[in-house]
Structure 1
Amino acid sequence: MAVATKFREYLSPGGSSEGERKLVQKLDFFILTFCCLMYFLNYLDRSNLTNAYVSGMKEDLDFKGNELTQINTVFTVGKTTRLTSSNGYVIGQVPSNLALYYIKPRYFFPSMMIVWGCLTMITAATHNPQSIMAIRFFQALAESSTFVGTHYILGAWYTERELGKRSGVFTASGLGGTLFGGLLQTIIHSSMDGLQGLAGWRWLFIVDGLMCVPVALYGFLLFPDTPQTTQVPYLSEAERELARSRVPRHVQRAPFNWAFVKRVFGSWYWYGFVMLWIIAGETESFSSNSLLALYMKAHPGRKYSVSQLNNYPTGVPAVGIVSTLFWATLTDFLGGKRYLVGYWIGITGIITSAMILAPSATTASTFAAYYWAGSVYACQATFFAWANDALRYEEDSLRAVVIASMNALSGAVNAWWSIVFYSANFAPKFTRGMWAMIGCSIALAIWTAGVSWMCARTEKDRINHGVETHSGDEVVSVDEMGTQKA
């Protein structure tokens, strides 16, 4: 009974008073609805490139070899057709998070949505893969603000007890975009293919872009910015002050100077969490590179219909949604034990890769392995919540840079990783990628243990030095001997 009562309390909106619970409910509605819709459309746009590819774009634009993988690389890092590095999604993330110090999020996020929505619609007019490469580079700059920016905002508003669930809901919305993308392409292909002389895959990009407009308008009118800057009418002055009191206050220093750079690179947080997400991101790329769709497209013994190519792979993000919400909720309930997900992914990566590599692997077992591998998406929500938790008592600018650097450098590695291990012309077996997944899974389990140890040591030092810490929803102070003071 005690566990059931505790679980019911945990699933409540949060807060120790009626006023705080109402505040959290308002934050959930206005922050999560906008951020989740924004991320949903962000992922819908990304996943629909592959959906379009398997639905006629490959043949219409005469794609060759691994050009699809190269386009995804352009999006992630920004590469010319000669594959010399430039910067797109990768370099956009740290500047985007730092820009939130100077541009209010309710202006910044909607503006970026309008930019990438327009570029998505322009994709419908392309006639060769090189044009798509150029468009995706600029889309990357706009879309780079969404993921890391939202995690920064979530960390600014929510307490440790609340953060994991919200991060999980946010991440699940992106997976929802991936899942819905295949269904949307099926609907458009069956009802709009040939309409006004345009192929179904072209209509897909037009519809994607138009969907961004109402969401951007909603964010511009009602997004609450940060606790320190919010002026939205639905929060009273008392609620604004309550929101500011719920999170640690820091002495803020200008982020653009040499001293700040030294603080970033002199901190273990940057190295620990950036490497954690680089490794975890490559376990996630097993699913995010749409390998199941490519496996089906290149299957030597069976030809799948367009509807099957779009619908069957939706099971992967569906598993990812369930896994993300489960692990985000469980690790919150267990007091923030985010490291558990690292061990789960290690086990999953080894077993599913072995299932696909097995000489006796059947189509059914391969499908099962890809679906199970979708559960590694859980690392998105939990690892970024873990970084927010660990950096809660550090200055916000450091937290912003660490979170942005995690995704930026993971993207930089994933750009060439996808070509080396998951290139479209390696389908259907992706043998090299399976072995890479096994290696990353082992490395992730080891690195997770190291970050967990560093977090525990840092928390112990913080307590011993009498720094303010949180106990549930109550803020307490701790003296040199670790004794709570009233």
Structure 2
Amino acid sequence: MASRFVQYIRGDQNAPGERKLVQKLDFFILTFCCLMYFLNYLDRTNLNNAYVSGMKEELKFHGNQLNQINTVFTVGYTIGQVPCNIALYYIKPRYFFPGCMVIWAGLTMATAGARSPGGIMAIRFFQAIFEASTFVGTHYILGSWYTEKELGKRSGIFTASGLAGTMIGGFIQTGIHSSMDGLSGLSGWRWLFIIDGIITLTVAVYGFFLFPDTPRNTKAPYLSAEEKALAISRVPEVSERTPISWSFLRHCFSTWYWYFFVVLWIIAGETESFSSNALLALYMKAHRGKKYTVTQLNNYPTGVPAVGIVSTLFWATLTDFMGGKRYLVGYWIGITGVVTSALILAYPNNTSVHFGAYYWAGSVYACQATFFAWANDVLRYEEDSLRAVVIASMNMGSNAVNAWWSILFYGANFAPQFTRGMWAMIAVSIAMAVWTALLVWMHVRSERKREVTNAATYDAGKEKDFAGTGEKEAGDGGFDEKV
């Protein structure tokens, strides 16, 4: 077992040159995608950091305006999901990803000049449309290059980079607030958005020159002709059709993949509500018995994504090692959501219990890597265009629900208890376990049908070959008798 695990960590590529190819892919694909996602989350979550670091008072936020801005962002993000992944089918990723980054970097810096919550709301809507390319687009790219045994670990590393952006954002805001607040007449939270945008632009340039696109259209100078051919041979060859056609849409909505994975991620997205809505920071800000400093408000919640990073890498690696049993994470999420919510409801005035529950709830972030790797695994033998649309639709469906879910159950005005949200979390956590079991059943059923079809095709091919050989032998026999 130990030697098998070491082999897994090192990689079990067997074809000549395959290990070297995967190392190159890891360096150029993962470095760019992880940096892109890190900055994506940094730009996105720093709104919450800015909110508790002076933006609320300076721009005179009131009521649920922060949640409304996040909802508008979610709407833009939802709108951008499927179009962005379809765009990757027509536009090379090394042009599309950096182009989106340049636009959202400019919008991030524009946030520094906002004078009202309404101005930020307008900026965030358009920023979200272009940031929508990152998450689902990267999962589509990872599924295009990596095998089933390699995918979970890479998806985990990618997802962890986004959580790192969430975690580090608090420390960056703390540093900027203490050293740059008031510099050139700008508040520290404004400098935060300016610096984020500048960093994003540099990563976009890196991606433009070195991102390898997909195996069938790559022109990366660091890949030899043999490595390009090997990359194509590592993934199944599937039939293809354009994603913009009625026949494709009918095909997409006639499969079980779209419905089951979209519902899976809708439920999973709401099990992340404690973290995605920054409930710990809002709990601290509205705490009735203690006043937290700006440094504490920014630093203490970083423990949530830290737990998420550890959990993501653990489950992504474990499910890879266990042969792709991604469904195990669904059951873990079910347990976590029920227990943490019950603890908060049972001990409404215990600060330690609340902190512990919110930190533990950060472990549900593991579903991001494992569930999208699961979708890539199941759709590996389907068309690339179908895989791209299903992956994008998963995130689109989740964000469409989250646009109103967060206001209904986790509005800032519900702090510090969020009682309604706790009961909602218990409900979706139970639904998560049930739906995971149903999806496993559908997957097993589908695989059995595929095996039967493949076996029938193989037998038919053997019979055809045998018939052809028999005719030849009979002809040969007749010739001998004639002679």
- TM-score range normalised by the length of the shorter chain: over 0.9
**Aligned runs of 1:93-242 on 2, under 5 Å?**
93-242=81-230
The counterpart of 2:273, out of the listed 285, 293, 306, is 285
- CA 1:135/1:4 → structure 2, altered by over 3 Å: closer, same or farther? same
Aligned to 2:473: none
SS at match of 1:299: coil
Deviation, 1:136, is 0.3
What residue identity is the alignment partner of 1:169? I
Question: In 2, Cα distance between the equivalents of 1:303 and 1:480?
Answer: 75
Q: Which of these two proteins has the greater Rg computed from alpha carbons?
A: 2
1:31 aligned partner, one-letter code: I
Q: Provide, for residues 131-177 of structure 1, a one-character-per-residue CA deviation record: whole Å limited to 9, x for no partner.
A: 00000000011100000000000000000000000000000000000
Identity over aligned residues, as a percent?
Answer: 72
Distance in 2 separating the partners of 1:120 and 1:66: 22
CA distance in 2, matches of 1:344, 1:405: 24
1:267 aligns with 2:265: no
CA distance in 1 between counterparts of 2:378 and 2:152 reads: 13
1:479 positional shift: 5.6
> Is 1:459 aligned to residue 447 of structure 2?
yes
Q: Deviations over 1:270-314 (max 9, x none)?
A: 000000000000001221110000000000000000000000000
Give 2:45's aligned residue. Answer: 47
Alpha-carbon separation, structure 2, partners of 1:478 and 1:108: 41
List gaps (5 residues or longer) in structure 2: 462-483
- Tell me what 2:4 maps to: 6
* Unmatched tracts of structure 1, length 5 or more: 78-87, 469-476, 482-486
Q: Is 1:253 aligned to 2:229, yes or no?
A: no
Distance 1:36 1:360 in 2: 38
Counterpart in the other structure of 1:472: none
Answer whether contact 1:355 1:361 (CA < 8 A) is retained: no
Once the two structures are superposed, residues 349-369 of structure 1 have per-residue CA deviations (whole angstroms, 9 ceiling, x without a partner) of: 000001111146510111000
Aligned partner of residue 11 in structure 2, secondary structure: coil
What letter corresponds to residue 333 of structure 2 in structure 1?
A: I
Residue-pair matches, total = 461
Partner residue of 2:364 out of 354, 369, 376: 376
Q: Deviations over 1:387-406 (max 9, x none)?
A: 00000000000000000000
Q: Report the RMSD for the aligned CA atoms in angstroms.
A: 1.3
Partner of 1:338: 326
Q: C-alpha displacement at 1:480, in angstroms?
A: 8.2
The structure richer in helix per residue is 2
CA distances 1:409-460 after superposition (whole Å, capped 9, x unpaired): 1000001000000111110000011110000000000000000111111111
What corresponds to 1:434 in structure 2?
422
Match of 2:464 in 1: none
Structure 1 residue 74 and structure 2 residue 72: aligned? yes
Match of 2:299 in 1: 311
Other-structure match for 1:85: none
Cα distance in structure 2, aligned partners of 1:467 and 1:229: 33
Per-residue displacement from partner, 1:371-398 (whole Å, max 9, x unpaired)?
0000000000000000000000000000
Distance in 2 (alpha carbons) for counterparts of 1:286 and 1:388: 27
Aligned to 1:24: 22
TM-score by length of 2: 0.94
Q: Is the 8 A contact 1:45 1:120 kept in 2?
A: yes
After TM superposition, give the deviation of residue 102 of structure 1 in Å.
1.1
Tell me if the contact between 1:75 and 1:137 (Cα under 8 Å) persists in the aligned partners.
yes
Q: 2:406 aligns with which of 398, 407, 418?
A: 418
Contact 2:348-2:417 at 8 Å conserved across structures = no
